[in-house]
Structure 1
Amino acid sequence: MSTSALTHRVRVLAEPGHRHDEILTPAALDFVGSLVAAFGERRRELLKERRRQAIRLSAGAPLDFPLVTSAVRADPSWRVAPPAPGLTDRRVEITGPPERRMAVNALNSGAQVWMADFEDATSPTWDNIVGGQLTLLDAVERRIDFTTDEGKEYRLGDHGRLATIVVRPRGWHLTEEHLEFDGRPVPAALVDFGLYFFHCARRQIDAGHGPYFYLPKLENRYEARLWNDIFVHAQELLGLPRGTIRATVLIETITAAVEMEEILHELREHSAGLNAGRWDYLFSLIKTFGHRTDFRLPDRAKVTMTAPFMRAYTELLVRTCHRRGAHAIGGMAAQVPSRDPAAREAALATVRLDKEREAEDGFDGSWVAHPGLVPVCREVFDGVLGDRPHQIDRTRDEVDVTAADLLSVRRIAAPPTPEGIRTNISVALRYFAAWLRGQGAVAVDGLMEDAATAEIARVQIWQWLRHRAVDRGTVLRHLDDEAAALGAAHPWAPVDEARALFERTALAAELPLFFTPDAYTRHLVRRAEAGS
């Protein structure tokens, strides 16, 4: 790759760590720098447009399918690229952070795909980010076996199929403050994408797969177009054919929900389909319309996938994907199987019902958060798919969803319950404490919680306070109780910092759009005294 056009190399502002030099090579940093030089300004402009759109919607502008792209939606002729090697059968996908133990368990789990998550399941400490890249490199090289200090061995299977690796980089709104280009932090998405692509793209192709990605939190077709242009540029730089990269987009914002076809169209030569990111989708609804009383959601546990507006969202996703020859991937089963037989059976029964609904609706596969859920998810999809790798031929032409259907939240309106209020405070506080200590996926009360579920927990409290469905004194009393319980159970937990984070992001007059940027800068950034 030629980097002669670069005038500013990416600078590392963090202390060197174990094996970091294997990832942060001059050539890899130059590659990331070339992406920032070419696309950094477009990213900044698109983030400004996000803010402008949020202001328009807050002021009462209607949200609908774009009139200007009606020809794209009406044209029956275009389809996305056919499935890439390793992505034809996706009936079970397991997700988790790119951490060594998780990687071995996920690759061996029997799932078709492992989604290595730098976004919601990773606390973005510098060691976690670079360590995650090392995990992926070692996994691709099949040298990831290791033994813990306690003597437990983790080994890749000697026979059978390992899960296909798909990487989820961080979203457009985040930066990596341990890297600097032209005096500014580097966009985190370009760090995660660029380092993995530079080190592993060719290796994955040689292994019979390719560099595959999940794209989080897109809000419109222009953000998909930016990714597509990045893919074209990256492939040209490394001399790879166009279309080698494949990407699945998570539809987890309400503004993306009305542009599903446009997003597929923008990415069509690199598209691997769409995924229903249910918790971030609810989070997006509150961020976008939380000031309106008709968008006040009930307890998180009561907002099931059978709610009319959630049914509209998932059925539209399946119809859109299959009409264009793309995979439709269902949402997360977050249960952590218990050692108690009765509790375990209850959790598996809940997962089974959820996956049966998805498979019967036409989804081609679905997500689980724990290896113990792979068998039940596989069994359900085996029962519908049989020997077929997917059901893309089931086009769901009978589905007719309007923008009003996607926004029909008022049909499930209900006041929050005392248990729902306590649960949200507990989940957010406990997750924040773990995240601040570098853990991004946390088992809480039998569920694997990540940043998405913490976000929905804290913004629900904000919404209920705004609309006086709960009073501030009640929230503070529960916060006192949960903080005391957390400190008693885990004396090492950063309770004060977690509580302050909750107060800044859930109790403020204006809702912070994400908890992560401020918390990252305050608590996780550790720069060296002098950048290298």
Structure 2
Amino acid sequence: MAAVMDLSAPAAVEATGRMKPGYEAILTPPALAFLADLHRRFDARRRVLLAARAERQARYDAGALPDFRADTRDIRAAEWAVAPIPAALRDRRVEITGPVDRKMVINALNSGAQVFMADFEDATAPTWDNLVAGQLNLRDAVAGTIEFRSPEGKAYRLNPAPAVLMVRPRGWHLPERHVRVDGEEVAGALFDFALFTFHNARALAARDRGPYFYLPKLQAMEEAALWDAVMEHAERALDLPAGAIKATVLIETLPAVFEMDEILYALRRRAVGLNCGRWDYIFSYLKTLRSHRDRVLPERGQVTMTVPFLKAYSEWLIRTCHRRGAFAMGGMAAQIPISGDAAANEAALAKVRADKLREVRAGHDGTWVAHPALVPVAREVFDAHMPTPNQLHVEREDVHVTRDALLAPCAGTITRRGFENDVEVALRYLAAWLDGQGCVPIHHLMEDAATAEIARAQLWQWLHRGDLAFADGAPIDFALFDRTLAAQAHRLRAAGIPGAARVDAAAALLAELTHAPRLAEFLTLPAYAQLD
């Protein structure tokens, strides 16, 4: 098939990030021409869709509630299915996700999981060096040549049968300010997708390995249709077989749960599943319903997958996916091993086992973990209860949901400890993120941008509600927040935590966002201006 563009043609591309040795292998003129072509074809549509998000949120802020769309009722009612799932993805019982640094890529691919999702979004602070080095790391992983030697001299290299690689580019809302095309900033999503696809798609397609992607933060079928158009054009431009590029969509926004059928339909030639992105979904519930005083959530530890609105979400996702021949992937276990305390470690692993047991019994086809040590724990549960490669046969016709079930308020409490933990998590994560780290262990949990978003959104919601109090009657107010933030910042500056040098900047930004009269759409947008 003839390519639809000349990849050797000059393009008006300006890359302002500092070039280091090796970067020229990723930022080649043909690769940048491919990126420029995608930008010119699709960025205007992306901006229209982002404006539609803002208009939709304005309706929610004015009192409306998300609901199933009347204009797409026929899609939901009709009988159709996604394209057949490739052999390499028919068993996805355990997937591991993490950032794109070199050691993590090797360890994750060697972890024994079926799939490694290399994450350019929530687990990666998008510094220029992180992004370009991450592309180099994935290129070497695809080629099978990736190696790493630690400062202590330990050598890391790929095992003979590594996990299947999937890549999560950034969401449609995030810019890449280090690259401009015709004077316009490119989308982070197109930057990540273009460079990975250009350098690796042919090699992966030759081995029946995609390329495969995870698509984050979608809110509507039109956003999925844009990804489908981008991928279809990439297949033509790079002489790939039609439908070679496959995608799993994270259902991690509240509006998207009402359009799961429609999202699969828009991507039906390449969709292989949906994923319960539970942490971002909780954040999206907070953000979407920020003006609804009756939808205040309790502290994060009480918002488990067994509460009504999350149980309805996960079971509706299973039913929707299996009806369409797509996989329903479970959510992330954020626990990490606790060394030096066997009892605490076993208690943490018991929580993981219980969560994975709930998922497999509900009908999920696989699950996520954040640490290689959790791969055998999750695998043991799924092996015991899912003898088949997947559970597409579990149709869950018993599940029926309504709008109100998906939006049900959540009972619970707010404790001083929960309040202080939200301040600490948001501050520690933001300080590390500003220092270039997007995945941070805090209190034996692997925190990423999604969990930090929950923490700062909860703080905003509780404080702006204005009439909440702890059990002893003490008010939850801005004076308390300011004192807690100052105390946490003082403690963390002296503690030598990751990003300690950025604690003051993180505290200033967290204070600004929390006091602001409107909840910011994403923490990472204002923070991005402070990254290198």
TM-score normalised over the length of structure 1: 0.96
Shift of 1:63: 2.0
Partner residue in 1 for 2:172: 172
Answer yes or no: is 1:502 the counterpart of 2:510. yes
AA of the residue aligned to 2:238: L
Q: Deviation at 1:207?
A: 2.9
| TM-superposed deviation, 1:510 | 1.3
CA apart distance, 1:283:
0.8
Which letter does structure 1 place at the counterpart of 2:112? G
Aligned ranges 1:303-318 → 2 under 5 Å: 303-318=303-318
Cα separation, 2, equivalents of 1:504 and 1:7: 43
Conserved? CA contact 1:85–1:210, under 8 Å: no
Q: Assess if the C-alpha contact under 8 Å between 2:16 and 2:178 holds in 1.
A: yes
Name the SS for the 2:235 alignment partner: helix
Q: Which secondary structure does the structure 2 equivalent of 1:223 belong to?
A: helix
Indicate the residue corresponding to 1:247 in structure 2.
Answer: 247
Greater shift, 113-122 or 240-249, is seen at: 240-249
Deviation at 1:413, TM superposition (A): 2.8
- TM-score, normalised by the number of residues in structure 2: 0.96
The 5-angstrom pairing of residues 288-327 of structure 1 reads 288-327=288-327
Q: Which amino acid aligns with 1:41?
A: A
The code of the aligned residue for 2:275 comes to: N
DSSP-derived class of the 1:208 partner: coil
Deviations 1:172-210 (A, max 9, x none): 111100000111111000000110000000111223311
Partner of 1:516: 524
SS of the residue corresponding to residue 398 of structure 1 reads coil
Letter in 2 for 1:59: A
SS at match of 1:240: coil
Equivalent residues in 2 for 1:227-238, closer than 5 Å: 227-238=227-238
Point out the more displaced range, 222-231 or 497-506: 497-506
How far residue 453 of structure 1 moved from its aligned partner, in angstroms, is 0.3
Q: Which residue of 2 aligns with 1:479?
A: 485
Given candidates 137, 140, 148, the residue that maps to 2:139 is 137
Map 1:264-303 to 2 at 5 A: 264-303=264-303
Q: How big is each residue's C-alpha offset from its partner over 1:381-418, in whole Å with a ceiling of 9 and x where there is no partner?
A: 111111x1101111111110111100002xx3334110
SS of residue matched to 2:274: strand
1:6 to partner: Cα distance: 7.2
Matching residue within 82, 85, 96 for 2:84: 82
Contact 1:6-1:34 at 8 Å conserved across structures: no
Q: Residue type matched to 1:238 in 2?
A: L
- The answer as to whether partners of 1:80 and 1:325 remain within 8 angstroms in 2 is yes
CA distance, structure 2, for counterparts of residue 240 and residue 465 of structure 1: 52
Structure 2, unaligned runs of 5 or more: 469-475
Counterpart for residue 123 of structure 1: 125
Q: CA deviation at 1:506?
A: 2.1
* 1:380 counterpart SS class: helix
Alignment of 1:308-387 (within 5 A): 308-339=308-339, 340-386=341-387
Alignment partners' CA distance in 1, 2:349 and 2:234: 42
Aligned to 1:530: none
- Conservation of the 8 A alpha-carbon contact between 1:486 and 1:493: no
- Correspondent of 1:30 among 16, 33, 37: 33
Q: Secondary structure at the match of 2:526?
A: helix
Displacement of 1:56 in angstroms is 1.1
Aligned equivalents of 2:292, 2:413: Cα separation in 1: 14
SS at match of 1:439: coil
Contact 1:428 1:458 survives alignment (8 Å)? yes
In the alignment, what sits opposite 1:14?
Answer: 17
RMSD (Å), alpha carbons: 1.3
Counterparts of 1:252 and 1:146, CA distance in 2? 33
How far apart, in 1, do the equivalents of 2:173 and 2:349 lie? 36
Matches within 5 A, 1:351-430: 351-386=352-387, 388-409=388-409, 412-430=410-428
Q: 1:7 deviation in Å?
A: 7.6
Given that residues 6 and 33 in structure 1 are in contact (C-alpha distance below 8 angstroms), is that contact kept between their aligned partners in structure 2? no
Q: Does 1:464 align with 2:465?
A: no
2:526 and 2:8 mapped to 1: Cα distance?
34
For 1:273, what is the secondary structure of its paired residue? strand
Please tell me the residue identity of whatever aligns with 2:300: R
Looking at structure 1, the residues matched to 98 and 164 of structure 2 have their Cα atoms a distance apart, in angstroms, of: 14
Q: Distance in 2 between matches of 1:103 and 1:207?
A: 19
Query: What are the superposed Cα offsets for residues 237-278 of structure 1, whole Å, 9 maximum, x if unpaired?
Result: 011122101000000111000000000000011101100011
CA contact (8 A) 1:9 1:29 kept: no
Counterpart AA for 2:525: P
CA spacing shift, 1:283–1:6, aligned 2, 3 Å: farther
Structure 1: give runs of 5+ residues left out of the alignment: 526-532
Q: How far does residue 504 in structure 1 lie from its aligned partner after superposition?
A: 2.0
The AA in structure 1 aligned to 2:329 is I
* Contact 2:175-2:185 within 8 A present in 1 as well: yes
Give 1:209's aligned amino acid.
Answer: R
Instruction: Report the residue type matching 1:103 in the other structure.
Output: V
How far 1:330 sits from its partner (Å)?
A: 0.4
Aligned pair count?
Answer: 518
Does residue 44 in structure 1 map to residue 50 in structure 2?
no
Q: 2: CA distance between counterparts of 1:114 and 1:9?
A: 35
> Which structure has more RCO (C-alpha within 8 Å, separation ≥ 6)?
1
Between the two proteins, what is the percent identity of the paired residues?
52
Contact (CA 8 Å) 1:177, 1:186: kept in 2 or not? yes
Q: 1:4 to 1:250 in 2, by over 3 A?
A: closer
